[in-house]
Amino acid sequence: MYDPLLDESLASNAPYPSSYWADVAGVPPKDDGQLNKDITVDVAIIGAGYTGLSTALHLARDHGIKATVLEANRTAWGASGRNAGFILKSSGRKPYASMQSQWGEEVMRGIYQEMCAGVDTVKSLIAEGIDCDPQESGYIRVAHKPDMLKSLLATAALQKKMFGYDIQEITREQLHQNYMADNNAYGAIRYQDGFGINPLKLAWGYQKLAQKAGVTIHCDTSVEKCYQESSHKTTQQSQTTQILHTPSGIVKAKKVVIATNGYSAKNFHPLIKSKSLPVLSQIIVTQPLTPAQLAACNFLTSNVIMDTRALKYYYRKLPDNRILFGGRGAITGKNAADPYYANRLLAVLKTSFPALGSLRYDYAWSGWLCMSLDDMPHVYQNEQQSVFYAMGYCGSGVSFSVQAGKRLAQKVAGVTVPNLPIYQTPLATFPFAPLRRVGQWGYFQYGKIKDRWL
C-alpha cells in the first residue's frame, strides 16, 4: 500500500479499496476525466476529498470563483471514502481543558463554535438532497475501565458548563439495557448530536453540488510537481504563477490549495514538509447479525460509539445490521494488508460481545489519518498568499474538513477568517522528522501499557 512517509508519488487512477462503502454506494458520479492538455486557471485544488470538494464548492458558491480540482485517483479515494462515517462536533485530539489553559476561554469557545459550524454545514449540505444514509443521532463514549468513567464525567461536566452541551450520563446497567451490552464498557456519556453516515456517498454528494456550482474535477490526474514561477513585469512588480505538472497536462494557476491531508506524498511541497504524521487506521465490517445475535448482545442502538483507550476502538451498527469496528492498523504501508490487523479487531469485538463467537468479517480495509504535532488541524498559507492548505484533522475530519474548506475558500478569496490558532498559525514541523515512525511505535507501546495496566 502507498506509504506517504516513504513514497514520493502516489498511484494514479487506483480503484477504491474493497470497502463496504464502495460496495453499497452504487454508481459514482461522472467527473471531467483525466486532464489531457495544458490549462491556465485562477485556483487549482489538489485532492478531491472532503477538504478539496468543500473548498471548491464554497469558492464557487460564496465567492464566484470556479476552481479546478485535480485528483490522482478518484473522488474520495483517500480517507474521505474510507472512514467510519462518524459525524462529530470535534477535530484534532486536543482536549478543551488544555485549549483553555493554553489560549484562554475565548479562543476555546471560538474553536468549539467552529466545530459546531462544521456539523451544521454538513447537515445543511445533506439537506440539499445528499443521499448518504444518515442514522439516528447519538454519540456514545464508553469507559473501558471503571476509572475512566470518572474522567468522562469530568469532561461532560466541563462541556456542560462551558458550552451548555446536552450530555447524558449512563451507567453500565443503563448502557447494557438501553443501547448495547458491551462487556468492556463500564458506563458512558452520550452526546445527542453525533451520527453515522455512508462517507463515500457523502463525498459523491459534495462532488455533485460542486459540479452544479461550476467546479471542474479532473480525476486520474496526479500532481507530480508543484512549484512557483516568478515573472518580473517591471522592476517593482513581480507576479507569481503556480505550475503544476500532471501526466498529460501542465496547469498554471494564480493560487493553489493543497487538500491532500494524510495522503500527501513525501517531499510533495515545502509548505507542508515534515508537518504531519500519517497513521493507519483499520476497519472491519462483519457479516450482518442475525436477530438472535442482535438479541444476545441487546444491540439496540445505531449511535456511533468510541471508547476511552489511548489506542481507541470505535464501532457502530450499520443499516443492514452489520457491525463496523475500527482501531489502529499497521505502522507501515507495506504491512497494511496483513490480515493480522483485521483479525485483531475481530478478536477485540468478540471480547466486547462474547455472544458473537462465530461471527466473521466480510470487509477489511485501512486508510491514512493525518496527525499534527499540536494535535490540532491547521488552515494556513504561504507568505505570498498563493499556496494554501488545510490538514491535520488527527482522525476526526468528516465534519470539520468541510468547515476548513469553507474557511480556506474565504482565505483564497481574501476574506478575513476568525482569529483562532487553527486559522492563524501554520502546522508545526515535527522535530527529528525522519524518526516520526519510531515515535509512533513508542506511543503504541505506551498506549498498550496504559490501556491495560494504568
- Closest separation between CB of residue 432 and ligand FAD, Å? 25
Please, which residue, 179 or 400, has the CB nearer to ligand FAD?
400
Closest of 46, 122, 41 to residue 406, by C-alpha: 122
Interface residue with ligand FAD among 56, 57, 59, 79 (CB under 6 A) is 79
Q: What are the φ/ψ torsions at residue 75 (nearest 5 degrees)?
A: -55, 130
Report the alpha-carbon distance of residue 395 to residue 401 in Å, rounded: 11
Binding mask 184-213 for ligand FAD (x = CB under 6 A): ------------------------------
Residue 150's identity, in one-letter code, is K
Closest of 387, 52, 62, 421 to residue 216, by C-alpha: 52
Cα four-point dihedral sign 433, 437, 442, 446: positive
* Helical segments of 91-145, H only: 96-103, 105-127
* Residue 135 interacting with ligand FAD (CB under 6 A): no
Interface residue with ligand FAD among 21, 50, 96, 204 (CB under 6 A) is 50
* Residue 403 interacting with ligand FAD (CB under 6 A): no
Please, which residue, 46 or 149, has the CB nearer to ligand FAD?
46
| Residue list 94-133, contact with ligand FAD (CB under 6 A) | none
Please, which residue, 222 or 302, has the CB nearer to ligand FAD?
222
* Residue 398 interacting with ligand FAD (CB under 6 A): yes
Instruction: Select the span of 28-36, 67-75, 156-164, 341-349 touching ligand FAD (CB under 6 A).
Output: 67-75
* Set of cell numbers at residue 196: 453515522
| Residue list 334-363, contact with ligand FAD (CB under 6 A) | none
Count, residues near ligand FAD per rule CB under 6 A: 45
* Residue 284 interacting with ligand FAD (CB under 6 A): no
CA separation, residue 120 to residues 40, 124, 249, 407 (Å): 35, 6, 38, 14
Q: Are 288 and 321 in contact (CB under 8 A)?
A: yes
Interface residue with ligand FAD among 17, 28, 85, 92 (CB under 6 A) is 85
- Closest separation between CB of residue 203 and ligand FAD, Å? 8
- Closest separation between CB of residue 105 and ligand FAD, Å? 25
Number of H helices, E strands in the chain: 12, 18
Interface residue with ligand FAD among 55, 68, 242, 260 (CB under 6 A) is 260
* Set of cell numbers at residue 81: 471514502
* Residue 244 interacting with ligand FAD (CB under 6 A): no
Name 113's Cβ contacts closer than 8 Å, sequence gap at least 6. none
- Closest separation between CB of residue 150 and ligand FAD, Å? 26
Instruction: Select the span of 28-36, 182-190, 339-347, 395-403 touching ligand FAD (CB under 6 A).
Output: 395-403
Q: Are 447 and 286 in contact (CB under 8 A)?
A: no
Instruction: Select the span of 117-125, 249-257, 364-372, 436-444 touching ligand FAD (CB under 6 A).
Output: 364-372
Interface residue with ligand FAD among 1, 16, 17, 47 (CB under 6 A) is 47
Instruction: Spell out the SS3 assignment of 374-415.
Output: CCCCEEEECCCCCEEEEECCCCCCCCHHHHHHHHHHHHHCCC
Report the alpha-carbon distance of residue 405 to residue 96 in Å, rounded: 22
Residue ranges binding ligand FAD (CB under 6 A): 10, 46-52, 70-73, 76-80, 82-86, 88, 222-223, 259-265, 268, 281, 283, 326, 367-369, 393, 395-398, 401
